[in-house]
């Protein structure tokens, strides 16, 4: 971690009547932010974490897989938000009402997912093109949720478009308690550089909290996005992949403390082994071996022999062999 401690003089994040002990949150990421990932990031200092995005239609039709994605551990009580996607007001009202008594802090509506199959259904970032529908969806969710409803948006739909302020104002008028802004358009997916000025413009235009998102790859980035945009919180996504320590770094800097030293190679492997154990307990050994492969690539990026280790683990199908391989890597 480079740089010195920075005192931000920013108050802790508050959404509705919910207070958070720091402004740094783990983003919802499909196939990534399961109980295991959330656990590690919260332990390293994330103030709260989102589930993977869950289909409102899935809840409407009683899909067991959709409901399972919303399961959480007891320690997550008071530190978890559900993210839902959908575009039918009646379905999203049902989903919000169904989840009313769950222990999640808030509900977040996905208005940014760029995946074609989601967009084709008029969901995710497709709602950026239909603000009347977006308003209606959020309005009914607020009515039924019994807790804060927020939304995560992109700056626009087509490349070069900037409709973030207009979209955010529609959300605020519908009763949203906060808005997260990703400084890329839908057509960019995750290419190019995130436009933080868009986040600053939204912040100046709203009375509700604004959370900044995009290109936060280290603790210093998290502080810089707050300083440059005035945002109230920071949502960290890809910067947390293989690096739950990013929250520890960001929180230390935000408190005006010197950041802790970056994790050593051994600490990265130890965390990877812990991640593997958590996934195994949650989903079983077979699924854990398959899922941990992508995490291995993220954790060991930049380490000596990383390319060789990645190739090796991609061929492993046995949990014990996976553990042995990682332990051998740690032991040199």
- HSE-CB at 185 with a 13 A cutoff on CA atoms is 11
Catalytic residue among 41, 113, 218, 231: 113
The full 3-state SS of 306-332, as one line of letters, equals HHHHHHHHCCCCCHHHHHHHHHHHHCC
Are 183 and 196 spatial neighbours (Cβ–Cβ below 8 Å)? Answer: yes
Helix (H) or strand (E) holding 285: helix 285-299
Burial class of 311 by CB neighbour count within 10 A (0 to 12, 13 to 18, 19+): exposed
Give pairs for 33-37: CB < 8 Å, separation 24+. Answer: 34/69, 34/279, 34/282, 34/283, 35/71, 35/72, 35/73, 35/76, 35/278, 35/282, 36/275, 36/278, 36/279, 36/282, 37/240, 37/244, 37/275
Rounded CA-CA distance 119/125 in Å is 6
Rounded CA-CA distance 142/220 in Å is 35
DSSP state of 257: P
Angle between helices 306-313 and 319-330 (to 10 degrees): 170
Rounded CA-CA distance 195/17 in Å is 30
User: Catalytic residue at 329?
Assistant: no
Strand 14-15 relative to strand 18-19: parallel, antiparallel, unpaired?
A: antiparallel
Give me the phi and psi of 213, to 5 degrees please.
-150, 140
Select from 254, 277, 238, 266 the least CA-distant residue to 330.
266
Kindly list the catalytic residues: 113
């Amino acid at each position: 971690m480079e740089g010195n401690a920075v005192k931000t003089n920013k108050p802790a994040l508050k959404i509705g009547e919910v207070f958070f002990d720091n402004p740094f949150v783990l983003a919802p990421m499909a196939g990534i932010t399961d109980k295991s990932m959330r656990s590690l990031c919260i332990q390293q200092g994330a103030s709260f974490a989102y589930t993977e995005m869950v289909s409102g239609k899935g809840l409407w039709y009683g899909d067991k897989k959709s409901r399972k994605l919303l399961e959480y551990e007891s320690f997550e009580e008071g530190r978890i938000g559900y993210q839902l996607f959908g575009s039918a007001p009646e379905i999203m009202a049902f989903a919000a009402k169904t989840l009313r008594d769950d222990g999640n802090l808030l509900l977040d509506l996905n208005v940014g997912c760029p995946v074609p199959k989601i967009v084709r259904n008029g969901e995710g970032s497709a709602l950026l093109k239909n603000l009347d529908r977006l308003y209606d969806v959020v309005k009914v969710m607020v009515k039924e949720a019994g807790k804060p409803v927020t939304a995560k948006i992109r700056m626009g739909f087509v490349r070069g478009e900037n409709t973030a302020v207009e979209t955010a104002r529609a959300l605020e008028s519908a009763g949203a308690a906060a808005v997260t802004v990703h400084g890329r358009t839908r057509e960019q997916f995750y290419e190019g550089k995130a436009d933080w000025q868009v986040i600053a413009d939204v912040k100046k235009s709203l009375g509700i909290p604004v959370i900044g998102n995009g290109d936060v790859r280290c603790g210093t980035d998290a502080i810089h996005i707050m300083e440059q945009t005035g945002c109230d919180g920071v949502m960290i996504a890809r910067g947390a992949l293989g690096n739950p320590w990013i929250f520890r770094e960001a929180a230390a800097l935000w408190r005006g403390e010197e950041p802790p030293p970056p994790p050593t190679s051994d600490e990265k492997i130890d965390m990877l082994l812990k991640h593997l154990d958590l996934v195994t307990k949650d989903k079983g050994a077979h699924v854990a071996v398959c899922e941990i492969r992508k995490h291995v690539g993220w954790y060991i990026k930049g380490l000596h022999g990383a390319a060789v280790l990645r190739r090796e683990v991609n061929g492993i199908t046995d949990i014990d062999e996976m553990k042995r391989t990682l332990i051998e890597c740690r032991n040199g």
